[in-house]
Structure 1
Amino acid sequence: MAEPIRITGLAEFSRNLRKLDNDLPKGLRLAMNEAAQVVVDYARPRIPRRSGRAAQSVRARSTRTAARVMGGGARVPYYPWLDFGGRVGPRRSVERPFKKEGRYIYAGFYAKRAEFEQILVDALVKVARDAGVEVD
């Protein structure tokens, strides 16, 4: 699995933004989505297409303290099989080689990690400046 990017003081920063204005923490969530979208844009074109539902199910999700990229869902229950592999079907007859690190989302994170970090830093600085906080 990927080593998560930890931002020291992010939760405290979010709490302090909320003290200034209740709408400011929303900017953090949007900043997280903007950074996660880099991974989504990398992964989507690489996912095999028949109906296109698997590729469309890959999307950025975030809270004010965490960003994540998710794939699959109720309409695409086979997405984990596409990304990680395994055996499915009657008597587990359909096999796809298992890859613990995945084929699409984690590969996108590894390939775009530097860009992800830079976009996240730039977006967090912008949120801080919009809140009236001086940033070096």
Structure 2
Amino acid sequence: MSDIDRITPGGRIRVEGLRKAIRSLEQAGADAQDMRDLMHALGLIVVNAAAPPRRSGNLAGTLRAGRGKTKAVVRAGGARAPYAGVIHYGWPARRIAPQPFLSDALQRKRTDVFRALDQGVSQILKSNNL
């Protein structure tokens, strides 16, 4: 985990070397479920900080964190709120301004996410005697 690549204002953060580190952990005996749980916890930090616009509350009810092994993913929308992307990214042709509630939450909680990642990986290493 050497380089960190942040792209603002989109909110994308890339940690170089994480995939290789996870592969090494697995070869050393660490459980992949531990990494899935860690990535889910990282996503929940952003989900809990997100403040989508509230008209009916449907959009807020669709926020969820994925359980990827190599990445934390936060999703919004679905059948109950198919307009989530339009709300978040906007639609200039329809004069709908973007309201990037997920990107804003990530920017506000970036320090907490990195701290949780560091602590989580350390805990996985410690629990596997690595």
Q: TM-score range by the shorter chain?
A: 0.7 to 0.9
**TM-score computed with the length of structure 1 as normaliser:** 0.77
Match of 1:29 in 2: 36
RMSD over equivalenced CA pairs, Å: 2.1
How do 1:117-136 and structure 2 match up within 5 A? 117-133=114-130
> What is the percent sequence identity of the aligned residues?
25
Task: Quote the Cα distance in structure 2 between the aligned partners of 1:3 and 1:59.
Answer: 17
What CA distance in whole angstroms lies between the structure 2 residues aligned with 1:3 and 1:77?
A: 22
Matching residue of 2:13: 4
**Are residue 48 (structure 1) and residue 49 (structure 2) matched?**
no
Q: TM-score, normalised by structure 2?
A: 0.80
Q: Which structure would you say has the larger Rg?
A: 1
Which amino acid in the other structure matches residue 123 of structure 2?
Answer: K
4+ runs of 1 displaced by more than 4 Å?
A: none
State the 1:108 CA deviation: 0.6
| Residues 16-66 of structure 1: per-residue CA shift (max 9 Å, x gap) | 333344x711101111111121110111xx212333221111111131111
Q: Measure, in 2, the Cα distance between the counterparts of 1:51 and 1:117.
A: 33
* CA distance 1:74–1:87, shift in 2 (3 Å): farther
AA at the equivalent of 1:79: A
Question: Which residue of structure 1 aligns with residue 27 of structure 2?
Answer: 19
Structure 1 residue ranges without an equivalent (≥5): none
The structure whose RCO (Cα within 8 Å, separation 6+) is larger is 1
Aligned residues between the structures: 121
